[in-house]
Amino acid sequence: MLRHLIAAILALSLAACATAPRQPVGLMDTPVHHADLADSFLDQGQWAKAGAEYDRALELNPKHARSLAGKAVALAGQGAYEAAEDAMDAAESAAEGDADELALAVCRLRLLAARARGGNLDRAELPEEIADLVEDGAALDERHAPLYFHAGEAWLEALDFGAAQAAYARVLELGGPLAETARQRMDLIAKVQRAAPGSRVGKEIALVPAVTRADMAALLVQELGAAKLFRRTEKAPAAGFAPPADPKPRYEESGPADAAGHPLRQDIALVLELGIKGLGRMPDGTFRPNEPLTRAEVAMVWEDVIVRATGDAGLATLYVGGASPFADLGSDHPAFNAAVLATTRGVMGAGARSGRFEPLGPVSGADALVSIKRLRDELNVF
């Protein structure tokens, strides 16, 4: 419904632009000024604000190619993919000169990344299109940092971390305002490569800033090998539990209703059967697959894995009653023992300088993968 509404708004917007251009009010009421402001909103992910500013530019010049292309990216960010392609087609028709063509190449890269991120484009289609756009853009200006930066963003969505790293390295070489963000992306890639995710799902989750309950279920099943781990432990996590022969059992109709249509429902089903601490049903019977996990909750998951892997049930209470090493986590907190156990084992990090654990903070996909790799390396049960 929302996508159709956005498409309708775009149609009205383009229809309005077909009328006589609006006369500027003041010296700064120019297409370039509005497009510059819209670009800044676009970089912040404020899609609606960006679209509104591009519209102001188009009121003044209905054929402002840069604004049409930017509007396409803003629409894709809101899930209006058909309308985004229409806007990009209009931008290509309006483009005049190398500057416009270069701006369109960058926006095309951004549109590819947005579509892949939203599930509107098969990631397998990305590599060839990215390479062609970079080649075309570099022929116009081989030192245009935004071209390589957004190529890096698109390569990330293609799950080609090596190509993404090379693109960001080029941005660092060129310098400019995107260099610091490129360096942060390279740090992320280095972390993911150290974690070495083996599954496609693991690589996809590596890019998320905050893992959800469904994400964690998939990581435990596909990256940690939870089924194998629980088979090799002597005690079952729940009375009468029998590990399934298939590591990805058929989703049971009796499963949580809110997970029935989820792409990761099989992983959720297995995690529920295994009875992993911190990832059970909620009191109302739901699973809440899209709810982000906090650091405290993730620590409790790792505690359960460590206890299960070592067979030492005493680890679940090892630090209870002791003094807290964290300024923001008291020894009476439900996750206190788990947090101390996870950090002392090197499975999770804590602020060495700040002395804080940040129990309510999110856990990125990359950090979750690093934790899993450390568990696999340290616990000789996999």
Domain with 99 in it: 2-197
**Whether residue 269 is found in the same domain as residue 134:** no
**Whether residue 356 is found in the same domain as residue 234:** yes
CATH number of domain containing 57 = 1.25.40.10
**Whether residue 372 is found in the same domain as residue 243:** yes
Report pLDDT for 378: 82
Domain boundary among 197, 228, 261: 197
Terminal-residue alpha carbon distance, the chain: 47
140 near 165, Cβ under 8 Å? no
Whole-angstrom distance, CA of residue 128 vs CA of residue 122:
12
Q: Rounded to an integer, what is the distance from CA 125 to the centroid of its chain?
A: 19
Q: Is 318 exposed, middle or buried (0-12, 13-18, 19+ CB in 10 A)?
A: middle
**Whether residue 282 is found in the same domain as residue 182:** no
Residue ranges of the alpha helices (H) in the chain?
A: 2-17, 31-43, 47-60, 65-77, 81-94, 97-117, 126-140, 145-157, 161-174, 179-195, 200-205, 213-219, 226-231, 265-274, 295-310, 336-344, 365-378
Domain boundary among 197, 223, 250: 197
How many structural domains comprise the chain? 2
Please state the φ and ψ torsions of residue 183, each to the nearest 5 degrees: -65, -40
**Whether residue 162 is found in the same domain as residue 207:** no
**Whether residue 171 is found in the same domain as residue 220:** no
**Whether residue 90 is found in the same domain as residue 126:** yes
CA atoms within a 13 Å half-sphere pointing along the CA-CB vector of 330: 2
**Whether residue 307 is found in the same domain as residue 245:** yes
Q: pLDDT tens track of the chain, all 382 residues?
A: 555 555 555 555 555 445 689 999 989 999 999 999 999 999 999 999 999 999 999 999 999 999 999 999 999 999 999 999 999 999 999 999 999 999 999 999 999 999 999 999 999 999 999 999 999 999 999 999 999 999 999 999 999 999 999 999 999 999 999 999 999 999 999 999 999 999 999 999 999 999 999 999 999 999 999 888 876 664 544 444 444 445 544 444 457 999 999 999 999 999 999 999 989 999 999 999 999 999 999 999 999 999 998 889 999 999 999 999 999 999 999 999 999 999 999 999 876 567 899 999 999 999 999 999 999 888 765 4
128 near 159, Cβ under 8 Å? no
**Whether residue 181 is found in the same domain as residue 306:** no
**Whether residue 207 is found in the same domain as residue 151:** no
Please state the φ and ψ torsions of residue 373, each to the nearest 5 degrees: -65, -40
Domain boundary among 197, 221, 239: 197
- Supply the pTM of this predicted model: 0.82
**Whether residue 241 is found in the same domain as residue 105:** no
Report pLDDT for 302: 96
Whole-angstrom distance, CA of residue 84 vs CA of residue 99:
21
**Whether residue 9 is found in the same domain as residue 155:** yes
